[in-house]
Structure 1
Amino acid sequence: MDGNDTPKSGKCPVMHGGMTNTQDSVTSWWPKTLNLDILHQHDAKTSPYGSDFSYRDEVSKLDFDALKKDIHDLVTDSQDWWPADWGSYSGLFIRLAWHSAGSYRLADGRGGGGSGNIRFAPLNSWPDNANLDKARRLLWPIKKKYGNKISWADLIILAGNAAYEVAGLETFGFGFGREDIWAPEKDTYWGSEKEWLTDNEARYPSKEDRDSLENPLAAVVMGLIYVNPEGVNGKPDPAMTAKDVRETFKRMAMNDEETAALTAGGHTLGKCHGNGDAGALGGEPEAGELENMGLGWMNPNKSGNGRYTITGGPEGAWTTNPTKWDGGYFDMLLDHEWETTKSPAGAWQWKPVDIAEDEMPVDVEDPSIRTMPMMTDADMAMKVDPIYREYMEKFRADHAYFSRTFARAWFKLTHRDMGPKARYVGPDVPSEDLIWQDPVPTGSTSYDVDAVKAKIAASDLSIADMVSTAWDSARTYRGSDKRGGANGARIRLAPQKDWAGNEPERLARVLSVLEPIASEAGASIADVIVLAGNVGVEKAALAAGHQVTVPFAPGRGDASDEMTDAESFEPLEPLADGFRNWVKDSYVVTAEEMMLDRAQLMGLTAPEMTVLVGGMRAMGTNHAGTSHGVFTDRAGQLTTDYFVNLTDMRNLWKVTDDEEIYEIRDRQTNEVKWTATRADLVFGSNSILRAYAEVYAQDDAPEKFVKDFVAAWTKVMNADRFDLAA
């Protein structure tokens, strides 16, 4: 190559698009393709830690007192690069913790602060989270100091706790144990909007009916954590906003008193920052230039911080002393008449009609200057809604009661998605068992497991009876908020015993056999239900020529009705179960999409989902005993027949008049051999799932199939056994 052969300066040496997400590009070309990414989003390759790293082990080594002191000190250690309002970061750290935890919703258990997800898109760049990137950077020196002994998820919530303690609140407690993720979560549906803060009619089929908000959403619009502070669709109307507040917080598992306490307690400290044109701000972190080093909302407005801090929206503090835990919020809200006005950022807010100068908060930089307080439309809702107003008056009359109520509600807000108390670590874990923690007593481990298995095996229960009941008991587990699962045997309690997916008549019949066995042996019903499923799997494997012992760890307990908040368990009801080939009703989403969602909540990978479906079909465990997808003439045996016949090119697949049901016909004779559902065909039509199905259809697969099925089955049965991981 001579000197004239140098590359042209304008030619890029990198293939454009070669480093983009392959699945995203596939689905953009073929939108109907089932996207399996959510089953592998937290692959071990994303973590900087090795497979032997245990955060629970590391955090238990932490000097908890030293860490708390460092955070307490930081709250009042104002930094030049991002000065604290009134010399205190209380409001900022509370907002960081609140917005991290507050994305939780009860419907699917997703969101929340349990994984440090606020570090990543889209949450790190939501308009409602403006400038919380600065709060995380302020915490970086502490994270750097304590390293792997403290997760970002724990540190963010702990900072909020510390902020309240510095202000004077006695908090209810704190549990460490949240583990960080290392990439954005793609499984969480935040809404269908293509723009931030736009009125989305799809979220509300009826705008007047505010509880028509689309499930599983809790926030009123894309980009907000809760409700619009300016009012419904940006128009001040406290009575209407109260409806949004009530519905949103209900979907976060909060009642009216907890909602009122959280609103008042959250607005007792700190301020809103709408002192300028929010349109002048630079892009959010994900849209920032390289030189911004991950920070967003760069501010050209005078100093860009202090009194000139801009996040957009309202401007001002709620109370006279916004760095102190006191009752000033109630005095300000209830003792004044209020009128609408607009912030310098152009947002609707409320100001007192008349106020004495000494009741005004001082400027964040200059204490000789007094500034006008404000209320959002959500605050005014606390005054005009009769139920919320009653709580406001009650809290003002008894500050100690308010402090206790708020502290407990704050603890619930910041710990709800952590699951059972068994996952909590540290010296400040409250001893009290709270009903929203779904408490389960410790079960016995001293009974004769083999004797119990023998009695189950000798009963008249079928393999399908045993396997289906154990599966139904365990499938409620949600890795999103660590709720549900077989531990506690809540399948025998309301509301689960009456769920259509659990086949109440069959369930009652099976329990009538298993409960006496459990009682006689001194075992929990929860253990015996799982043991029965294991016995069924072992019997099915033996019938197929494989001698296996399914691993079992005793110690599950039996919850009681008193330990169970039945209403909060209603969102856990399965509306479909692809593993048992059942859909409760007709839905907009397909059966295979609902199966994928269930698999992700249960923590399964695509290969695990595949092997479980094939095994469950072979054992004849379909809901109500339907034959759809049971591609075998030896149902009840743990064979690979499902995959063999699924991939057999001698078969022809045709849709029936019922578009959800398909016929499998012999190509030669046109004879109908089997029927199937969408949840079956997807394992042959989707290229990724077919690749897994072909592994198990091979002639050398039977032994591997049984081994893999037992491993995946055991994973499901033990998903909620946090005591085993301790």
Structure 2
Amino acid sequence: MSAGKCPVMHGSLTESGKANTDWWPKNLNLDILHQHDEKTNPMASSFNYAEEVKKLDYAALKKDLVALMTDSQSWWPADWGHYGGLMIRMSWHSAGTYRVADGRGGAATGNLRFAPLNSWPDNANLDKARRLLWPIKKKYGNKLSWADLIAYAGTVAYESMGLKTFGFGFGREDIWHPEKDIYWGAEKEWLAPSDNDNSRYSGDRDLDNPLAAVMMGLIYVNPEGVDGKPDPLKTAKDVRETFARMAMNDEETVALTAGGHTVGKCHGNGDASVLGPEPEGTDVEDQGLGWLNKTSKGTGSKAVTSGLEGAWTTHPTQWDNGYFELLLNHDWQLKKSPAGAWQWEPVSINEQDKPIDVGDPKRRNNPIMTDADMAMKMDPDYRKISERFYQDPAYFSEVFARAWFKLTHRDMGPKSRYIGPDVPSEDLIWQDPVPAGNTNYNQDDVLAQIKTSGLSSAEMICTAWDSARTYRQSDKRGGTNGSRIRLAPQSSWQGNEPERLAKVLAVYEKTSAATGASIADIIVLAGNYALEQAAQAAGFNIKIEFTPGRGDATDDMTDAESFDVLEPIHDGFRNWLKSDFAVSPEELLLDKAQLLGLTAPEMILLVAGMRVLGTNYDQSPHGVFTDRVGVLTNDFFVHLTDMSNSWKPTGKNTYELCDRDSGQVKWTATRVDLVIGSNSILRAYAELYAQDDNQEKFVKDFVSAWNKVMNAGIY
């Protein structure tokens, strides 16, 4: 070996080497389907967090957290001797990434521990909050996830400062790997203004879906104003949009803004330019702590986080109505913080109404407001709500407590997943409640009626699929339980083919009345029966496992508006696009497969099976590579991989499969069909299932993937 040549193969570090997606950026990146591969999970396959957390000593945990709040540590001292503001900000910023459009983000996975969230500018110094919590996490071990602890710490902080909270549910299971494939925006730099080349805005400040923050690296809005330029009315528009995308209405928005700023403070009493890099960019000796000031004191009264400096209220460690009292009863003017950030300060204020300085109890400083706070005063609708809260502090506390509960639980799914002694008994509409279903009915009676119903196999399979495909593992919404496909808005969604759906549901309603089975159960039973018949026609006798007990939701249990975001605008499994999109059809398929919790093999199995079963939207022939439509065969894979065929495009998203020698057109297809043969990874799976000895394996594996989708959301 020549002198100086490194014996180590480079490429394992993120700053060296190139990934396949760098060399071939147009290739379909399947990593999102396997981003939480079991190899990243250090826990045994038998570990069940839902069972472990039930063993937790909840009272002891709360006692320890309350004690922590006032146990100030010299390495990161608590403001006014209370960590409440810091812990609340951590819980808030963990939960606040949730967005309704795709259900991703939120507090349910503990993803705040990993990049990019742990290093977002808006999350500066939250790494300190997690390190302060480490002794408690260490003590309670496997009975307490980081996800639960991060969310619970903020709730206990509020209680310790005097708020009567609405409750808390444990049950969030940790992930062990960054969710690096979540789309957080197209910007190439943190806090890029909205007029840059990769802006998330178009038109009259229309925010791209599914994003719910105004800038890369922020949770909601810029505290200094739109693009850092103070203008409370413009900021109000941003606030209203970003909070709506987090499933909050105007009243909840004002309550959360005010309640979040009733306690704690902003930090900007120093020079931000001397801060070290974020946690992901630090040297090893910093042990993952970011934003360190190694030139002078950078803690306590000299800390820099947002750059704004000051508290919002006179008493920042206690729950009271001081926020509205100061906001509404004073005139405010723009000033610059010591770190150079725009903030609002009162034109005049009595000395006793100023908050005490963090470092010097003999001093008092002006309270401050962000541009978003001023929006609560200057926007007419927000102003009315603010005044009501000011006049009725008890009502404000109640609305805030409920909104905080919603914020920290919105992505947990049904209430049946909540664990612990403080779970509220009340059913909340945003929890998508479903009544318990009947299990005491005769399945054979149901099947007897299905067999004589006159419905086709395709009609039964499509209805079952359309009911199930709404499920999102991101926030555990949708799925077959509740049979909300019967209700508005789902009953009229274009993708559900309303005319066909109405025909099928009319039959199922009669069957339900005659047998006592829920319509939700009948939808799945009928789909399973049709699949069993299709497999039998292919020469394989199978019995699909079925678990009864799904319930039927009612209109009163359903917030129709909140279900609008679940409407499918594409479904690669049924080869349908509502319209053309900037994103390719195969990328849309990948996104949907990930939300359904599918692996790459499961994804293409379902595509292939649904094609040969003849279940395309509006009976489209695209991708139906078989002469035996309705029979559960591996023909899709066989013909896709057959080298006697060739392909040619006929439109933006359509292709013809032709006999290579004669040129005769045999079938048509879309990009979703062809990517399974063109992508090297997907082709490897396709070839496996196209083998002569894997016809039975195809049927069994398809049924397994089908069952996974049908049972998703059943807790």
Aligned equivalent of 1:669:
662
Q: How does 1:565-580 map to 2 (within 5 A)?
A: 565-580=559-574
In the TM superposition, residue 235 of structure 1 has moved relative to its aligned partner by: 0.5
Indicate conservation of the 8 Å contact 1:467/1:621, yes or no.
yes
1:485 aligns with 2:479: yes
- 1:235-256 per-residue CA deviation (whole Å, 9 max, x = no partner) reads 1100110000001000100000
1:476 aligns with 2:470: yes
Structure 2: how far apart are the matches of 1:397 and 1:352? Answer: 21
Indicate conservation of the 8 Å contact 1:276/1:312, yes or no.
no
Among candidates 410, 413, 418, match of residue 416 of structure 1: 410
Aligned equivalent of 1:706:
699
Deviating more after overlay: 693-702 vs 295-304 = 295-304
Structure 2: how far apart are the matches of 1:454 and 1:691? Answer: 41
| TM-score after normalising by structure 2 | 0.98
Q: 1:518 to 1:187 in 2, by over 3 A?
A: farther
Structure 2: how far apart are the matches of 1:631 and 1:206? Answer: 41
Q: How does 1:170-189 map to 2 (within 5 A)?
A: 170-189=164-183
Structure 2: how far apart are the matches of 1:97 and 1:519? Answer: 47
Aligned equivalent of 2:499:
505
Amino acid at match of 1:112: G
In the TM superposition, residue 301 of structure 1 has moved relative to its aligned partner by: 5.5
Aligned equivalent of 2:118:
124
Aligned equivalent of 1:602:
596
Aligned equivalent of 1:86:
80
Indicate conservation of the 8 Å contact 1:278/1:312, yes or no.
no
In the TM superposition, residue 575 of structure 1 has moved relative to its aligned partner by: 0.8
Aligned equivalent of 1:44:
38
Indicate conservation of the 8 Å contact 1:23/1:37, yes or no.
no
| Aligned-partner SS, 1:291 | helix
Structure 1: how far apart are the matches of 2:255 and 2:106? Answer: 19
| Aligned-partner SS, 1:616 | helix
- 1:577-610 per-residue CA deviation (whole Å, 9 max, x = no partner) reads 0100111100000111000000000000001001
Deviating more after overlay: 294-303 vs 284-293 = 294-303
Structure 1: how far apart are the matches of 2:144 and 2:526? Answer: 40
Indicate conservation of the 8 Å contact 1:60/1:426, yes or no.
yes
Among candidates 627, 643, 654, match of residue 637 of structure 2: 643
Structure 2: how far apart are the matches of 1:558 and 1:313? Answer: 51
Aligned equivalent of 1:694:
687
Q: 1:413 to 1:24 in 2, by over 3 A?
A: farther
1:64 aligns with 2:78: no
In the TM superposition, residue 688 of structure 1 has moved relative to its aligned partner by: 0.3
Aligned equivalent of 1:516:
510
Q: How does 1:133-144 map to 2 (within 5 A)?
A: 133-144=127-138
In the TM superposition, residue 573 of structure 1 has moved relative to its aligned partner by: 0.7
Aligned equivalent of 1:218:
212
Indicate conservation of the 8 Å contact 1:578/1:594, yes or no.
yes
In the TM superposition, residue 368 of structure 1 has moved relative to its aligned partner by: 1.0
Question: What are the ranges of 5 or more consecutive residues in structure 1 without an aligned counterpart?
Answer: none
In the TM superposition, residue 455 of structure 1 has moved relative to its aligned partner by: 1.6
Among candidates 288, 292, 301, match of residue 294 of structure 1: 288
| Aligned-partner SS, 1:652 | strand
Amino acid at match of 2:164: E
Q: How does 1:83-122 map to 2 (within 5 A)?
A: 83-122=77-116
Structure 2: how far apart are the matches of 1:281 and 1:321? Answer: 29
The number of residues matched between the two structures is 713
Q: Structure 1 vs Structure 2: percent identity of aligned residues?
A: 69
Indicate conservation of the 8 Å contact 2:185/2:200, yes or no.
no
Q: How does 1:534-573 map to 2 (within 5 A)?
A: 534-573=528-567
Aligned equivalent of 2:710:
717
Indicate conservation of the 8 Å contact 1:576/1:594, yes or no.
yes
In the TM superposition, residue 187 of structure 1 has moved relative to its aligned partner by: 2.9
Q: 1:409 to 1:322 in 2, by over 3 A?
A: same
Aligned equivalent of 2:187:
193
Structure 2: how far apart are the matches of 1:82 and 1:244? Answer: 33
- 1:48-87 per-residue CA deviation (whole Å, 9 max, x = no partner) reads 1011000001000000100111011101111111100000
Indicate conservation of the 8 Å contact 1:277/1:312, yes or no.
no
Aligned equivalent of 2:377:
383
1:679 aligns with 2:690: no
In the TM superposition, residue 318 of structure 1 has moved relative to its aligned partner by: 0.2
Indicate conservation of the 8 Å contact 2:641/2:690, yes or no.
yes
Amino acid at match of 2:655: Y
Q: 1:21 to 1:312 in 2, by over 3 A?
A: closer
| TM-score after normalising by structure 1 | 0.97
Structure 2: how far apart are the matches of 1:167 and 1:19? Answer: 45
In the TM superposition, residue 203 of structure 1 has moved relative to its aligned partner by: 4.0
1:329 aligns with 2:319: no
1:406 aligns with 2:363: no
Among candidates 134, 155, 165, match of residue 161 of structure 1: 155
Deviating more after overlay: 87-96 vs 388-397 = 388-397
Amino acid at match of 1:359: D
| Aligned-partner SS, 1:71 | helix
Amino acid at match of 1:484: G
Amino acid at match of 1:697: A
Structure 2: how far apart are the matches of 1:146 and 1:514? Answer: 49
Amino acid at match of 1:681: L
| Aligned-partner SS, 2:19 | helix
In the TM superposition, residue 204 of structure 1 has moved relative to its aligned partner by: 5.0
Structure 2: how far apart are the matches of 1:169 and 1:184? Answer: 34
Amino acid at match of 1:707: K
In the TM superposition, residue 280 of structure 1 has moved relative to its aligned partner by: 1.0
Question: What are the ranges of 5 or more consecutive residues in structure 2 without an aligned counterpart?
Answer: none
Amino acid at match of 2:679: N
Structure 2: how far apart are the matches of 1:579 and 1:691? Answer: 19
Structure 1: how far apart are the matches of 2:17 and 2:381? Answer: 49
Aligned equivalent of 2:526:
532
In the TM superposition, residue 262 of structure 1 has moved relative to its aligned partner by: 0.2
Indicate conservation of the 8 Å contact 1:302/1:308, yes or no.
no
Moved >3 Å (runs of 4+): 18-24, 200-207
Amino acid at match of 2:320: D
Aligned equivalent of 1:306:
300
Q: 1:540 to 1:23 in 2, by over 3 A?
A: farther
Q: 1:19 to 1:296 in 2, by over 3 A?
A: closer
Q: 1:198 to 1:19 in 2, by over 3 A?
A: closer
Structure 2: how far apart are the matches of 1:149 and 1:642? Answer: 47
| Aligned-partner SS, 1:417 | coil
Amino acid at match of 2:68: L
Indicate conservation of the 8 Å contact 2:115/2:180, yes or no.
no
- 1:250-279 per-residue CA deviation (whole Å, 9 max, x = no partner) reads 010000000000000000000000111111
- 1:18-58 per-residue CA deviation (whole Å, 9 max, x = no partner) reads 56699971111111100000000001110110110000010
Amino acid at match of 1:193: E
In the TM superposition, residue 206 of structure 1 has moved relative to its aligned partner by: 4.0
Q: 1:613 to 1:129 in 2, by over 3 A?
A: same
Indicate conservation of the 8 Å contact 2:128/2:289, yes or no.
yes
1:319 aligns with 2:310: no
Structure 2: how far apart are the matches of 1:438 and 1:356? Answer: 48
Deviating more after overlay: 128-137 vs 369-378 = 369-378
Structure 2: how far apart are the matches of 1:665 and 1:540? Answer: 27
Amino acid at match of 1:690: R
In the TM superposition, residue 205 of structure 1 has moved relative to its aligned partner by: 4.3
In the TM superposition, residue 313 of structure 1 has moved relative to its aligned partner by: 2.1
Indicate conservation of the 8 Å contact 1:299/1:310, yes or no.
no
| Aligned-partner SS, 1:664 | strand
